[in-house]
Copies of this chain bind each other. A is one copy, B any other.
Amino acid sequence: MKTYFDAISKIEYEGPKSENPLAFRHYDKDKLVMGKRLEEHLRFAVCYWHNFCWEGKDIFGLGTGTMNRPWHQPGDEMEMARMKMDAAFDFMAKLGAPYWCWHDYDIAPEGATIKESRNNFAAMLDVAEQKMAETGVKLLWGTANAFSNPRYMCGAATNPNPEVFAYAASQVQNAMAATHRLGGANYVLWGGREGYQNLMNTDLKRESEQLGRFLQMVVEYKHAIGFKGTILLEPKPQEPTKHQYDYDSATVFGFLQRFGLEKEIKVNIEVNHATLAGHSFHHEIATAASLGILGSVDANRGDYQNGWDTDQFPNSVDEMILPCYEIIKAGGFTTGGFNFDTKLRRESIDPDDMFHGHIGAMDTLALAYTKAADLYESGELQKVIENRYSGWNSELGEKILSGGINLKDLSQWAVDNDIDPKPQSGKQEYLENLVNRFIHK
């Protein structure tokens, strides 16, 4: 079958000395790291939306996109959807990422009615199922697009109109069932427009209760159908709306607790959403891990000088090594993985550009993860932490944490003993050098 990517062959691992831009230099999928193949650690996934649906439009170029893919031309929508899927699976098979991810309306055109939309989707699911079988590409997660259609302009589950809630419910139920059918490892909910544009017209409390109920319904449905994957929420602080309720991992954790869902739902952390929230990606990963809700990762990057979601391909081992270390320390991915929610620059319009983006990203993460594993296995960082907090293993430390002493008595103890604990160096620069030693061996 001829596809858009015909000129490009399967991407092979050629090792660090290779100068072939269409080969992996670091992602050797069969390499054993901590006793497991890299492919199984990293669980890379290609996203359908940015790669195959986005036409290269932006807010200052809404008319004609730059990407000019053959399936973005006028014509029968279902035919175009099939041409797109041919190209997509050709791309994924050649790239060698083991997973893919989609929104319902990425793979099938939205119809004029719910039923037509469902029929389109069902037809494309058949195609997808067959393609997955042929190529061996698996589903990391599915999700529903409940933000693009104007009906969702004021939110989906948080919409002032309960019929919009119901419309979103119908999409999410259908997309969950499809994810289950395709053997998806997770199901994701990204808020999209679950947030506010202004507080004057917004009932915050009511909207949060709507959203809480929606999530409970999703979890109940998961159990009802026997879906064993993880339900994931993807935090994002703002954009498209002024403020979004799933601001960051800590906010999501508070929300989940409020609705009794903190054991049922985890987070899908996106690098660029972390930075938009004023956090390092490292922070978001470490926070989620410390709260027991680390699920999966959208592995992209933002631009530190631009205040919107640029969704660029990750390209810095320096930035990725410590988040990878944190993931390893937390036990590695279970159902989650690294999904590339990444977008070519609008000017990168050649077919090979999509390969360059993914190859660079996969090499970067393979390198970062391998070096992080090396750092982890050395135990050097962990030892610093253990020493640093070792005082908490003392009688005093344990008494405090176990509730064995109250404020008044502890205060009195401090006075009676006239304590004067001395500051100890935090050794940040030493630790930065230590990490760099593992990066540049």
Given contacts A114-B419, A353-B425, A427-B353, contact A170 B414 (CB under 8 A): yes
CB atoms of A317 and B315 under 8 A apart: no
Q: Which of B197, B289, B305, B394 contacts A279 (CB 8 A)?
A: B305
Q: How far is the CB of A237 from chain B (nearest CB, A)?
A: 7
- A342 nearest in chain B by CB position: B429
- Give the residues in chain B near A434, CB-CB below 8 Å: 21, 200
Q: How far is the CB of A412 from chain B (nearest CB, A)?
A: 8
CB atoms of A153 and B346 under 8 A apart: yes
CB atoms of A162 and B391 under 8 A apart: yes
Given contacts A160-B391, A162-B396, A280-B305, contact A200 B414 (CB under 8 A): no
The stretch of A28-36, A62-70, A87-95, A132-140 that contacts the partner chain: A62-70
CB atoms of B201 and A431 under 8 A apart: yes
In the assembly, what is the distance between CA of A392 and CA of B161, in Å?
Answer: 7
CB atoms of A114 and B414 under 8 A apart: yes
Contact with B along A282-297 (1 / 0, CB 8 A): 1100110110000000
CB atoms of A424 and B356 under 8 A apart: no
- A220 nearest in chain B by CB position: B406
CB atoms of B407 and A221 under 8 A apart: yes
Contact with B along A251-262 (1 / 0, CB 8 A): 101110110000
In the assembly, what is the distance between CA of A350 and CA of B319, in Å?
Answer: 27
CB atoms of B440 and A317 under 8 A apart: yes
Q: Which of B176, B257, B305 contacts A243 (CB 8 A)?
A: B305
A217 on the interface (CB 8 Å rule)? yes
CB atoms of B173 and A344 under 8 A apart: no
The stretch of A1-9, A78-86, A144-152 that contacts the partner chain: A144-152
- Give the residues in chain B near A25, CB-CB below 8 Å: 437, 440
A400 on the interface (CB 8 Å rule)? yes
CB atoms of B348 and A61 under 8 A apart: no
- Give the residues in chain B near A423, CB-CB below 8 Å: 66, 150-151, 153-154, 347, 349
Q: Which of B319, B352, B388 contacts A318 (CB 8 A)?
A: B319
List CB contacts (< 8 Å) of A346-388 with chain B.
Answer: 346-350, 352-353, 356-357, 359-360, 363-364, 367, 381, 384-385, 388
A181 on the interface (CB 8 Å rule)? no
Q: How far is the CB of A363 from chain B (nearest CB, A)?
A: 7
In the assembly, what is the distance between CA of A384 and CA of B65, in Å?
Answer: 25
Given contacts A411-B169, A421-B167, contact A313 B250 (CB under 8 A): no
CB atoms of A322 and B162 under 8 A apart: no
CB atoms of A426 and B162 under 8 A apart: no
Q: How far is the CB of A22 from chain B (nearest CB, A)?
A: 10
CB atoms of B431 and A153 under 8 A apart: no
Q: Which of B166, B192, B392, B400 contacts A413 (CB 8 A)?
A: B166
A308 on the interface (CB 8 Å rule)? yes
In the assembly, what is the distance between CA of A200 and CA of B344, in Å?
Answer: 16
Contacts A/B (CB < 8 Å), 11 sampled: A21-B434, A62-B148, A170-B414, A199-B286, A200-B432, A202-B385, A283-B305, A304-B304, A316-B316, A345-B426, A348-B427
